[in-house]
Amino acid sequence: MVKVLSVASEIYPLVKTGGLADVAGALPLALAAEGVAVTSLVPGYPAVTAALEGGRAVLTLPDLFGGPARLVAGTAAGLDLLVLDAPHLYDRPGNPYVGADGRDWPDNAVRFAALSRAAALVGLGEAEGARPDVVHAHDWQAGLAAAYLAYDGRPRPGTVITVHNLAFQGQYPRTLMEPLGLPERAWSVDGVEYYGHIGYLKAGLQLSDRITTVSPSYAAEIRTAEGGMGLDGLLRARTEVLHGILNGIDDRVWDPATDPLIPATYDARRPARRRLDKAALQERFGLAKDPDAILFGVISRLTWQKGLDILLASAGTLLQAGGQLVVLGTGEPALEQGFAALADAHPDRIGCRIGYDEALAHLIQAGSDALVVPSRFEPCGLTQLCALRYGAVPVVARVGGLADTIVDANEMARAAGAGTGFQFSPVNPDMLSAAILRAAAVHRDREAWQALVKNGMKTDVSWRRPAAHYARLYRDLVAARS
């Protein structure tokens, strides 16, 4: 049994702002079947401490960067947790990263250094009853864990860092070195230093034994100047330890055969029942109840990464093709306003809900004919995987994990009985428009469309394969270090 400490700043179903939480919450369960025992270290946000069952303190820290802290072991939602109970850092309402004013909490540097520090202490065997073979950090918030372990000097476990999004790197002033307990010798290009700052993600990428990211294509993209966001040199130098492992989805949370959040359940043998969900979705958004109009859906953060300005620019084509569109998302005001205005101008064809709504996300997956994901870059992406499982045909930009998970239904692919969606590249309004027109044309051919729906629904998008890859990575790492 390999023992892994997973360290993440969010975890589904307790705290979620994006796909990181989905991964942190689902991968441990899938790894159990691979003989890997995962404990997840998470900050003690109010939602986490409230959900924790059977909690017992396994480490007490009288002063963790300005206040007392404890590590509390317990369970919640079927997960084995170590909760970093540090009220001065985490006992705050709302979002894990930003305050009510929408700005980063001013002490985020300290809050996530503390998470990493706690991870290192557990890795060094200081918490009662836990000595992991591997510390697996996710994203910049856990990036310093590898640094604390590397500079401690005591025997340490193996370290892995997973990049979910290279765009968020966590850069903070050099003056924090001493307050955060980082030794002066860590201040080097081979250590935590990054363009004159402490780079949290950089430190993790530099000092971890293994690096993973969430798709093979993204693993390749981040080694290029174009996709490397300043870290491509480091990543090229560490190519040998960099692996791309696709995400899966939790196929119990996302199962159209049993989903309590959709009006009509269905499966790959009876996909026709989706039309009931489509009608419900049209009604929910006040769209014309037209069973034949191709209905496109979007579930997304509304940010530059997600390319939804490109969809706004292609909306004219979508309407000309006789399509409908529903958008669920929240983010940049200009995009929120853009989709709201579009819905106002075409109320029977376009619907828009600004906000975060899990139940509605399920209805959109079940009721849309196609799901649009026009991302400029996408490390993996989860909504297109849910769409496959729910029979919503993905229309995706050919980047990162989108390129790796959707099989373009070009004519030859369809002749071979293959194809699960539509890809477009380069990522611009003309090419997205062309993909929308391709989808609309196939949609008019009922049989051809049903073949795509079924191909998608039969695709294994679960965590089974990815979990086996992670298990092998951990085992190889443990073997290499012993």
SS3 (DSSP) at 279 = helix
Establish if 18 lies at the interface with ligand ADP (CB under 6 A). Answer: yes
C-beta closer to ligand ADP: residue 361 or 366: 361
Buried b (16+ CB within 10 A) or exposed e, 274-301: bebbbbbbbebbebeeeeebbbbbbbbb
Minimum CB separation from ligand ADP for residue 147, in Å?
25
Q: Does 379 bind ligand GLC (CB under 6 A)?
A: yes
Per-residue binder mask for ligand ADP (CB under 6 A), 243-282, x = binder: ----------------------------------------
> Which phi and psi (to 5°) does residue 314 adopt?
-100, 0
CB of 393 vs ligand ADP, minimal distance in Å: 17
Q: Which residue has the tokens 């702002």?
A: 17
163, 328, 335, 427: which one binds ligand ADP (CB under 6 A): 328
Cβ atoms of 59 and 47 within 8 Å: the answer is no
Q: Does 165 bind ligand GLC (CB under 6 A)?
A: yes
Q: Should residue 163 be labelled a site residue for ligand GLC when binding is judged by CB under 6 A?
A: no
Select from 102-110, 122-130, 171-179, 328-336 the region that touches ligand ADP (CB under 6 A).
Answer: 328-336
Could you tell me whether strands 210-213 and 158-163 are parallel, antiparallel, or unpaired per DSSP bridges? parallel
Q: In whole angstroms, what is the distance from residue 252 CA to residue 397 CA?
A: 27
Q: Taking the C-alpha atoms of 60, 120, 26 and 368 in order, what is their torsion angle to the nearest 10 degrees?
A: 110
Task: Answer for the pair 163, 223: CB distance below 8 angstroms, yes or no.
Answer: no
- C-alpha 43/C-alpha 87 separation (Å) is 10
Among the candidate windows 90-98, 251-259, 260-268, 378-386, which touches ligand GLC by CB under 6 A?
A: 378-386
Contact 315, 323 (CB under 8 A): no
Residue type, 247: N
Distances (CA, A) of 352 to 16, 219, 414, 422: 22, 34, 33, 23
Choose the binding region for ligand GLC from 94-102, 325-333, 377-385, 424-432 (rule: CB under 6 A).
Answer: 377-385
Q: Which is nearer to ligand GLC, 151 or 304 (CB)?
A: 304
Look at residues 249, 253, 250 and name the one whose alpha carbon lies nearest to residue 362.
253
Query: At what angle are helices 383-390 and 358-367 packed, to 10 degrees?
Result: 50
Minimum CB separation from ligand GLC for residue 15, in Å? 14
Q: Of the ranges 203-211, 297-305, 337-345, 458-466, which one interacts with ligand ADP (CB under 6 A)?
A: 297-305
Residue 20 contacts ligand GLC per CB under 6 A:
yes
List the one residue from 89, 115, 192, 214 that touches ligand GLC (CB under 6 A): 214
Regarding 282 and contact with ligand GLC (CB under 6 A), the answer is no
In 31-78, at which residue ranges do the beta strands (DSSP E only) sit? 36-43, 53-61, 69-76
- Identity of the residue, 193 or 221, whose beta carbon is nearer to ligand GLC in the bound complex: 221
* Contact call for residue 217 and ligand ADP (CB under 6 A): no
Count CB-CB contacts under 10 A for residue 329.
23
Site for ligand ADP (CB under 6 A): which residue of 10, 22, 85, 193? 22
Does 23 help bind ligand GLC (rule: CB under 6 A)?
yes
The alpha-carbon radius of gyration of the chain (Å, integer) is: 23
- By CB neighbour count within 10 A (0-12 exposed, 13-18 middle, 19+ buried), where does 228 fall? middle
What is the per-residue binding string for ligand GLC in 384-413, x denoting contact by CB under 6 A?
-----------------x------------
When binding is defined by CB under 6 A, the residue of 330, 425, 428, 459 that contacts ligand ADP is 330
Instruction: Write down the least CB distance from residue 131 to ligand ADP, Å.
Output: 32
Residue 356, CA distances (Å) to 263, 285, 359, 360, 361 in order: 20, 15, 9, 9, 9
Interface residues for ligand ADP in 382-421 (CB under 6 A)?
A: 382-383
CB 337 within 8 A of CB 362: no
Q: Which of 292, 358, 445, 476 binds ligand ADP (CB under 6 A)?
A: 358
Give the nearest distance from C-beta 138 to ligand ADP in angstroms: 12
Number of chain positions touching ligand GLC (CB under 6 A): 14
| From 43, 256, 329, 351, residue interacting with ligand ADP (rule: CB under 6 A) | 329
Residue 214 touches which of ligand GLC, ligand ADP, none (Cβ within 5-8 Å per kind): ligand GLC
Burial (CB < 10 A; 0-12, 13-18, 19+), residue 178, is exposed
Report yes or no: 397 and 378 within 8 Å, Cβ to Cβ. Answer: yes
- 381: contact with ligand ADP by CB under 6 A: yes
Give which of 424, 417, 476 is closest to 448, Cα–Cα.
417
Contact between 13 and ligand ADP by CB under 6 A: the answer reads no
**Cis status, amide bond into 62, omega within 30 of 0:** no
Pairing of strands 2-7, 134-138: parallel
* 383 binding partner (options ligand ADP, ligand GLC, none; Cβ < 5 to 8 Å by kind): ligand ADP
Q: Among 9, 39, 212, 247, indicate the residue that binds ligand GLC (CB under 6 A).
A: 247
Residue ranges in contact with ligand ADP by CB under 6 A? 18-19, 22, 299-301, 328-330, 356-358, 361, 381-383
- Binding-site ranges for ligand GLC (CB under 6 A): 18-20, 23, 164-165, 214, 247, 378-382, 401
